[in-house]
Amino acid sequence: RGAVSRVLDAFRAGDPVLIHDFDDREGETDIVYPAGAVRPADVARMRNDAGGLVCVALPSDVAETLSLPFMDDVLDHPAATSQDLAYDSRSSFSFTVNHRDSFTGITDSDRAMTISRLAPVAEATRAGEYDAADFGGEFRAPGHVHLLRGAPNLLEDRQGHTELGLALADEASLPPAVVVCEMLDDESGAALSKSAARDYAARHDLAFVDGDLLLDGLV
Ligand code: 5RP
Ligand code: ZN
Ligand code: CA
Ligand code: ZN
Protein backbone atom coordinates (compact mmCIF):
# COMPACT_ATOMS: atom_id res chain seq x y z
CA ARG A 1 0.00 0.00 0.00
CA GLY A 2 3.06 2.27 -0.18
CA ALA A 3 2.19 4.22 -3.31
CA VAL A 4 -1.49 4.40 -2.35
CA SER A 5 -0.85 5.88 1.09
CA ARG A 6 1.59 8.36 -0.41
CA VAL A 7 -1.05 9.42 -2.90
CA LEU A 8 -3.65 9.71 -0.12
CA ASP A 9 -1.35 11.84 2.04
CA ALA A 10 -0.54 14.14 -0.86
CA PHE A 11 -4.18 14.44 -1.85
CA ARG A 12 -5.22 15.30 1.72
CA ALA A 13 -2.54 18.00 1.69
CA GLY A 14 -4.10 19.47 -1.47
CA ASP A 15 -1.16 18.44 -3.64
CA PRO A 16 -1.59 17.09 -7.16
CA VAL A 17 -1.05 13.37 -7.73
CA LEU A 18 -0.37 11.50 -10.96
CA ILE A 19 -2.63 8.57 -11.83
CA HIS A 20 -1.90 6.25 -14.74
CA ASP A 21 -5.03 4.29 -15.59
CA PHE A 22 -4.22 0.96 -17.23
CA ASP A 23 -2.04 -0.18 -20.11
CA ASP A 24 -5.09 -1.84 -21.68
CA ARG A 25 -7.36 1.19 -21.24
CA GLU A 26 -6.42 4.79 -22.20
CA GLY A 27 -2.82 4.22 -21.15
CA GLU A 28 -2.75 7.83 -19.95
CA THR A 29 -1.49 9.60 -16.85
CA ASP A 30 -3.66 12.40 -15.46
CA ILE A 31 -2.66 15.08 -12.99
CA VAL A 32 -5.39 14.94 -10.36
CA TYR A 33 -6.17 17.50 -7.63
CA PRO A 34 -8.91 17.80 -5.05
CA ALA A 35 -10.96 20.55 -6.74
CA GLY A 36 -11.07 22.67 -3.60
CA ALA A 37 -7.29 23.02 -3.55
CA VAL A 38 -6.95 24.47 -7.05
CA ARG A 39 -5.45 27.97 -7.34
CA PRO A 40 -4.45 29.86 -10.51
CA ALA A 41 -0.89 28.42 -10.43
CA ASP A 42 -2.38 24.92 -10.47
CA VAL A 43 -4.36 25.70 -13.63
CA ALA A 44 -1.08 26.98 -15.12
CA ARG A 45 0.60 23.68 -14.20
CA MET A 46 -2.19 21.72 -15.85
CA ARG A 47 -2.12 23.63 -19.13
CA ASN A 48 1.70 23.98 -19.30
CA ASP A 49 2.93 20.70 -17.84
CA ALA A 50 -0.01 18.38 -18.49
CA GLY A 51 -1.52 19.92 -21.62
CA GLY A 52 -4.73 17.89 -21.79
CA LEU A 53 -8.30 18.87 -21.09
CA VAL A 54 -9.04 20.35 -17.67
CA CYS A 55 -12.12 18.57 -16.29
CA VAL A 56 -13.88 18.33 -12.94
CA ALA A 57 -15.40 14.98 -11.99
CA LEU A 58 -18.48 14.87 -9.78
CA PRO A 59 -20.10 11.69 -8.48
CA SER A 60 -23.32 10.33 -9.94
CA ASP A 61 -25.57 11.26 -6.98
CA VAL A 62 -24.33 14.87 -6.97
CA ALA A 63 -24.69 15.12 -10.76
CA GLU A 64 -28.21 13.70 -10.51
CA THR A 65 -29.30 16.21 -7.84
CA LEU A 66 -27.75 19.06 -9.82
CA SER A 67 -29.33 17.84 -13.11
CA LEU A 68 -25.94 17.49 -14.79
CA PRO A 69 -26.55 14.92 -17.55
CA PHE A 70 -24.21 12.87 -19.69
CA MET A 71 -23.67 14.99 -22.79
CA ASP A 72 -24.56 12.18 -25.19
CA ASP A 73 -27.88 11.59 -23.38
CA VAL A 74 -29.14 15.11 -23.97
CA LEU A 75 -27.71 16.19 -27.33
CA ASP A 76 -30.13 15.29 -30.08
CA HIS A 77 -27.58 14.89 -32.84
CA PRO A 78 -26.23 11.88 -34.77
CA ALA A 79 -22.71 12.64 -33.47
CA ALA A 80 -23.86 12.48 -29.86
CA THR A 81 -23.12 8.87 -29.02
CA SER A 82 -20.07 7.61 -27.16
CA GLN A 83 -20.98 3.91 -27.16
CA ASP A 84 -18.28 3.10 -29.70
CA LEU A 85 -15.19 4.24 -27.74
CA ALA A 86 -12.14 2.05 -28.24
CA TYR A 87 -11.11 2.13 -24.56
CA ASP A 88 -14.34 2.00 -22.55
CA SER A 89 -18.08 1.50 -22.91
CA ARG A 90 -18.96 5.19 -22.54
CA SER A 91 -17.51 8.64 -21.97
CA SER A 92 -18.10 10.45 -18.68
CA PHE A 93 -18.54 13.92 -20.20
CA SER A 94 -21.32 16.18 -19.01
CA PHE A 95 -21.44 19.83 -20.15
CA THR A 96 -19.06 22.75 -19.57
CA VAL A 97 -19.44 25.56 -17.03
CA ASN A 98 -18.00 28.89 -15.90
CA HIS A 99 -18.50 30.40 -12.47
CA ARG A 100 -20.80 33.41 -12.95
CA ASP A 101 -18.20 35.67 -11.30
CA SER A 102 -15.70 34.82 -14.03
CA PHE A 103 -15.16 37.05 -17.08
CA THR A 104 -14.39 34.95 -20.17
CA GLY A 105 -13.83 31.85 -18.01
CA ILE A 106 -10.57 30.67 -19.59
CA THR A 107 -7.91 32.55 -17.59
CA ASP A 108 -6.08 30.76 -14.82
CA SER A 109 -7.89 32.80 -12.18
CA ASP A 110 -11.30 32.29 -13.81
CA ARG A 111 -10.82 28.55 -14.17
CA ALA A 112 -9.41 28.25 -10.62
CA MET A 113 -12.54 29.99 -9.31
CA THR A 114 -14.88 27.71 -11.27
CA ILE A 115 -12.96 24.57 -10.24
CA SER A 116 -12.40 25.36 -6.56
CA ARG A 117 -16.02 26.42 -5.94
CA LEU A 118 -17.20 23.01 -7.19
CA ALA A 119 -15.80 21.34 -4.04
CA PRO A 120 -18.04 23.07 -1.47
CA VAL A 121 -20.87 22.85 -3.99
CA ALA A 122 -20.49 19.05 -4.25
CA GLU A 123 -20.30 18.75 -0.47
CA ALA A 124 -23.36 20.95 0.09
CA THR A 125 -25.27 19.01 -2.58
CA ARG A 126 -24.56 15.73 -0.77
CA ALA A 127 -25.76 17.32 2.44
CA GLY A 128 -29.06 18.26 0.75
CA GLU A 129 -28.29 21.96 1.04
CA TYR A 130 -27.72 22.85 -2.62
CA ASP A 131 -29.74 22.02 -5.72
CA ALA A 132 -29.91 22.54 -9.49
CA ALA A 133 -31.44 26.01 -9.07
CA ASP A 134 -28.58 27.04 -6.76
CA PHE A 135 -26.15 25.63 -9.31
CA GLY A 136 -27.73 27.66 -12.07
CA GLY A 137 -27.49 30.75 -9.92
CA GLU A 138 -23.77 30.24 -9.42
CA PHE A 139 -22.56 28.74 -12.75
CA ARG A 140 -23.41 29.31 -16.41
CA ALA A 141 -23.16 26.89 -19.33
CA PRO A 142 -21.49 26.59 -21.72
CA GLY A 143 -18.20 27.49 -20.10
CA HIS A 144 -14.52 26.59 -19.99
CA VAL A 145 -14.40 23.79 -17.43
CA HIS A 146 -15.60 20.35 -18.52
CA LEU A 147 -17.74 18.48 -16.03
CA LEU A 148 -17.48 14.70 -15.82
CA ARG A 149 -20.03 12.43 -14.23
CA GLY A 150 -18.83 9.38 -12.31
CA ALA A 151 -20.44 5.95 -12.61
CA PRO A 152 -22.99 5.21 -9.83
CA ASN A 153 -20.88 2.61 -8.01
CA LEU A 154 -17.59 4.25 -8.97
CA LEU A 155 -14.81 1.66 -9.48
CA GLU A 156 -17.21 -1.29 -9.41
CA ASP A 157 -18.86 0.09 -12.56
CA ARG A 158 -16.09 1.90 -14.43
CA GLN A 159 -12.36 2.32 -13.96
CA GLY A 160 -11.66 5.67 -15.62
CA HIS A 161 -9.70 8.57 -14.19
CA THR A 162 -13.14 9.97 -13.33
CA GLU A 163 -13.84 7.11 -10.91
CA LEU A 164 -10.23 6.64 -9.76
CA GLY A 165 -10.09 10.32 -8.76
CA LEU A 166 -13.49 10.34 -7.05
CA ALA A 167 -12.69 7.12 -5.14
CA LEU A 168 -9.45 8.73 -3.98
CA ALA A 169 -11.36 11.79 -2.73
CA ASP A 170 -13.77 9.51 -0.83
CA GLU A 171 -10.93 7.57 0.75
CA ALA A 172 -9.22 10.84 1.71
CA SER A 173 -12.52 12.14 3.19
CA LEU A 174 -12.42 15.16 0.89
CA PRO A 175 -15.39 16.77 -0.90
CA PRO A 176 -16.44 14.68 -3.94
CA ALA A 177 -15.02 16.92 -6.69
CA VAL A 178 -11.67 16.30 -8.39
CA VAL A 179 -9.96 17.98 -11.30
CA VAL A 180 -8.17 15.79 -13.85
CA CYS A 181 -5.96 16.71 -16.81
CA GLU A 182 -4.12 14.35 -19.18
CA MET A 183 -0.35 14.56 -19.47
CA LEU A 184 0.75 14.87 -23.09
CA ASP A 185 4.24 14.71 -24.59
CA ASP A 186 5.30 18.18 -25.79
CA GLU A 187 7.49 16.80 -28.61
CA SER A 188 5.32 14.05 -30.07
CA GLY A 189 1.88 15.21 -28.99
CA ALA A 190 1.13 11.65 -27.89
CA ALA A 191 0.04 10.66 -24.39
CA LEU A 192 3.05 11.03 -22.09
CA SER A 193 4.62 7.61 -21.54
CA LYS A 194 4.30 6.07 -18.11
CA SER A 195 8.05 6.27 -17.55
CA ALA A 196 8.15 9.96 -18.51
CA ALA A 197 5.21 10.60 -16.18
CA ARG A 198 7.10 8.85 -13.37
CA ASP A 199 10.13 11.03 -14.14
CA TYR A 200 8.00 14.17 -13.99
CA ALA A 201 6.62 13.05 -10.61
CA ALA A 202 10.12 12.42 -9.27
CA ARG A 203 11.44 15.77 -10.54
CA HIS A 204 8.56 17.67 -8.92
CA ASP A 205 8.34 15.51 -5.80
CA LEU A 206 4.80 14.39 -6.61
CA ALA A 207 3.14 11.06 -5.89
CA PHE A 208 2.57 8.73 -8.87
CA VAL A 209 0.33 5.67 -8.76
CA ASP A 210 -0.79 3.01 -11.18
CA GLY A 211 -4.49 2.26 -11.58
CA ASP A 212 -3.96 -1.39 -10.62
CA LEU A 213 -2.38 -0.43 -7.31
CA LEU A 214 -5.04 2.17 -6.65
CA LEU A 215 -7.79 -0.35 -7.39
CA ASP A 216 -6.23 -2.83 -4.94
CA GLY A 217 -5.92 -0.14 -2.29
CA LEU A 218 -9.36 1.42 -2.71
CA VAL A 219 -11.84 -1.33 -3.59
C1 5RP B 1 -11.37 13.90 -20.26
C2 5RP B 1 -10.85 12.55 -20.49
C3 5RP B 1 -9.84 12.00 -19.58
O4 5RP B 1 -9.45 10.73 -19.98
C5 5RP B 1 -10.17 11.99 -18.12
O6 5RP B 1 -9.18 11.20 -17.50
C7 5RP B 1 -11.53 11.47 -17.73
O8 5RP B 1 -11.94 10.38 -18.50
P9 5RP B 1 -11.90 8.86 -18.08
O10 5RP B 1 -12.74 8.71 -16.82
O11 5RP B 1 -12.56 8.16 -19.25
O12 5RP B 1 -10.48 8.42 -17.88
O13 5RP B 1 -11.15 11.93 -21.49
O14 5RP B 1 -10.35 14.80 -20.64
ZN1 ZN C 1 -9.94 10.31 -21.93
CA1 CA D 1 3.84 21.72 -22.17
ZN1 ZN E 1 -8.68 9.40 -18.51
- Active-site residue numbers? 30, 55, 87, 98, 144, 182
Output the CA 187–ligand 1 centroid distance in Å: 22
Q: What is the pLDDT of residue 3?
A: 87
- pTM of this prediction exceeds 0.90: yes
Residues facing residue 140 across a β-bridge: 98
Q: Is the CB of 30 under 6 A from ligand 1?
A: yes
Between CA 6 and CA 169 the distance in angstroms is 14
Q: What is the pLDDT of residue 1?
A: 58
Q: Is the CB of 159 under 6 A from ligand 1?
A: no
Q: How many domains does the chain have?
A: 1
Q: Which of the pair, 2 or 24, is modelled with greater confidence?
A: 24
Contact 111, 48 (CB under 8 A): no
Output the CA 95–ligand 1 centroid distance in Å: 14
The CATH number of whichever domain residue 160 belongs to comes to 3.90.870.10
- DSSP symbols for 141-200: EEEEEEEEE--TTGGGT--SHHHHHHHHHHHTT--S-EEEEEBB-TTT-SBPPHHHHHHH
**What ligand is nearest to the CA atom of residue 48?**
3
pLDDT tens, position by position, 106-137: 999 999 999 999 999 999 999 999 999 999 99
pLDDT tens, position by position, 41-90: 999 999 999 999 999 999 999 999 999 999 999 999 999 988 899 999 99
Q: Which domain holds residue 155?
A: 2-218
Q: Is the ipTM of this complex over 0.90?
A: yes
The minimum-distance atom of ligand 1 relative to the CA of 25 is 12
Q: What is the pLDDT of residue 83?
A: 84
Q: What is the pLDDT of residue 82?
A: 83
Query: Has residue 98 got a pLDDT over 80?
Result: yes
Start-to-end CA distance of the chain, whole Å, equals 12
Per the prediction, the chain carries an average pLDDT of 97
Mutate to test the pocket of ligand 1, among 17, 20, 54, 55 (most ligand atoms within 8 A of CB): 55
